Amino acid sequence: MNLIKKIPLALKNIFTEPHSTIRYYLFVKLNYDKIFENKFKKKYKILNWFLNANGSDKMYPPQYHDLENLINVVRKIKPKLVLELGGGYSTIAIAYALSENLKSFGIEGKLYSYDQSLEYLELTKKMLPNELKKFVTLKYSKLKKGTINDIDVSLFEDLEPLNYDLVYEDRYDLVNSAPIAGDILFLYKKTNNLPSIVVDGKWKTVYFLKKELNQFYNISISKIFKRANFIKK
């Protein structure tokens, strides 16, 4: 396809699918991942924890813009108890932010990281730097199908209902039968506590949470970066 033919198609895509088109040009054409990686390296000086880590060749590659968002949220709200649903590089980022909160504010934060894959849980365990291990407890749990407010959802079977200050939702769902993650509402019904929330790329979950809990949060949604922050008011 020559350049003249490409221009109308690009313009059409910008109008019909603006966020996907912008994301494509940023990350495919302009290699923004590398730009974010370099920025991350200069700002945090912990890139060695994400590159060539033990078992990292079997992990999904790190998205540095998402890792920085997690670090920023943890540093901002200063949680004592964090729940991660789906571990990996994000586990390192959250644990790092908790370690920085301890240094800066004397706040001893703890991360409970659940995964539905034993293999991925072990890979996360291998990658976790020794200096961050004290901040993290790794847990395995299967998923199950449930119903919340007449909506089919997926839930971690063995999720401990604690008063979490922050929840990071980044796991696989039961895509065909229950594509919505219902753990936040499950926890709310059990504890009457609402945490701040970060959701990575699960739009049905994002809009479900927005519908059910909108009044409790300041919500920022980025369709370009495929994430949503629900910061408790």
Stretch 58-84: mean pLDDT: 93
Residues 132 and 99: their CA atoms lie apart, in Å, by 7
Over the stretch 182-198, which tens digit does the pLDDT of each residue have? 999 999 999 999 999 99
Q: What is the DSSP string of 48-99?
A: GGTSS-TTGGGSPPP-HHHHHHHHHHHHHH--SEEEEES-SHHHHHHHHHHH
Stretch 105-122: mean pLDDT: 96
The answer on pLDDT for 60 being more than 70 is yes
Stretch 75-104: mean pLDDT: 97
Return the sign of the alpha-carbon dihedral for residues 198, 134, 87, 117.
negative
| Contact by Cβ (8 Å): 203, 120 | no
- Which amino acid belongs to residue 126? K
Over the stretch 187-230, which tens digit does the pLDDT of each residue have? 999 999 999 999 998 999 999 999 999 999 999 998 888 899 99
Over the stretch 126-144, which tens digit does the pLDDT of each residue have? 999 999 999 999 999 999 9
pLDDT band (50, 70, 90) for residue 19: low
Stretch 61-68: mean pLDDT: 89
Q: What is the DSSP string of 123-174?
A: HHHHHS-GGGGGGEEEEE--EEEEEETTEEEEEETT------SEEEE----B
Stretch 10-34: mean pLDDT: 57
Residue 102: phi and psi, rounded to 5, are -65, -45
- Which amino acid belongs to residue 91? T
* Helix (H) or strand (E) run with residue 183 in it: helix 183-191
Stretch 65-78: mean pLDDT: 96
Task: Give the domain 36-232 fold.
Answer: Rossmann fold (3.40.50)
pLDDT band (50, 70, 90) for residue 7: very low
Stretch 12-32: mean pLDDT: 56
The answer on pLDDT for 162 being more than 50 is yes
Higher pLDDT, 61 or 3: 61
Residues 72 and 219: their CA atoms lie apart, in Å, by 15
Domain parsing of the chain, residue ranges:
1-30, 36-232
* Helix (H) or strand (E) run with residue 230 in it: strand 227-232
